[in-house]
Structure 1
C-alpha cells in the first residue's frame, strides 16, 4: 500500500473504523473522462462527517438555536488510490483520530463494493463560537460523546 503520512500502520488504521455512510457516484460528479471528479471526494467526506456527527449526537447540538458553537473545517486532505466511475456504490468511513480542546481530527476511508480502498483522507474540524468566530471549547457533554465514539471504535 502507498505510504500515507497520517497513517502509521495501515491494517490497524483500517480496523479502527466502525462507522460508514453509503454514497453512489452520480453522473454529474464525473468528468470528461468518465471518472469521479477529484473535487467531489470532499463532498463525500462532508456527507460522511455530517452523518457521523448526527450518529454520535453532536450535530443536533450545533443545529439548535440555543447552541453557541458551529463546526468549521480548518484543513482537509486526501489520497487517491483508485479511480472511481459513474454509478459505483461506495462506503465513506469516518473516525476520530484525535480530540483537542476546540477541535477534532477526523480520518476518512472510501471503499468500493468490492472492498477495495479507493481514497483515504483526514481533516480537522474546529468548533467556533457563532457570534465571535473564535475557537469555542467543547462542553462536557460534547466531549463525552466525542470520546465515547473513539472508545467504541477501538473495541
Structure 2
C-alpha cells in the first residue's frame, strides 16, 4: 500500500496572496448523475473563507461571543464553468481583492488541478448583533492588508477543541 501524504493543514495554506483550501467531493455532495450539486460550491467557498481567516489568526468565534460582530454575505456572483464529480480532489483558491472599513471583497475559484470549475466574487460585511454594518476590528484590517500584500506572518489561533 502506498504511503498517504497531505501537504495542506486543516486550514489550508497561504501561497503569496492566495489562500488554498483542499476539498474532497463525497457522495453526499452530488446529485443523481454524480455531479456536484450547484449549492455545494457555495459551501466549499464558505468553508474556505472561514479557514482562511482562521489561518490568518482571526478568531471569528471569539468576536461573535464577545458581541463585537460577525460577517454576513451582502453580495455574491458565481459562475460555473465545469462540473466536479464524486471523489474529485478540489482546491478552493481565495484572494482578497478590496478592504473597506466594514467589508471585504473576495475572489474565489474552485479548481480541479488547473481546471477552473466555478468562480465567485463575494462581498462580506462585518455586522453588529443588531445586523448593522460596523467597522471591522483594527487588527483584522491590518492582517487583511498583510494578506493582500503577500507578507502575512501566520500565527495560528489557539482553537482549543476544534
Shorter chain as normaliser: what TM range? 0.7 to 0.9
Deviation at 1:96, TM superposition (A): 0.5
5 Å matches for 1:33-44? 33-44=33-44
Instruction: Decide whether aligned partners of structure 1 residues 17 and 91 sit closer, same or farther in structure 2, where only a CA change above 3 A counts.
Output: farther
Contact 2:107–2:121 (CA<8 Å) still a contact in 1? Answer: yes
The runs of 5 or more residues in structure 2 that have no matched partner are 1-14, 152-162
Could you say which residue in structure 1 is the equivalent of 2:92? 92
After superposition, the C-alpha distances for 1:54-96 in whole angstroms (9 at most, x for unaligned) are 11122x1x21133512111112221111111111000001110
Deviation at 1:17, TM superposition (A): 5.1
Could you say which residue in structure 2 is the equivalent of 1:140? 138
Which deviates the most, 141-150 or 65-74?
65-74
What TM-score do the two structures reach when normalised by structure 2? 0.77
Matched, 1:72 2:64: no
Higher normalized helix content (fraction of residues): 1
Matched, 1:118 2:117: yes
How many correspondences in the alignment?
Answer: 135
Contact 1:17–1:93 (CA<8 Å) still a contact in 2? Answer: no
CA RMSD of superposed structures (Å):
1.7
What TM-score do the two structures reach when normalised by structure 1? 0.81
> Which ranges of 4 or more aligned residues in structure 1 deviate by more than 4 Å?
none
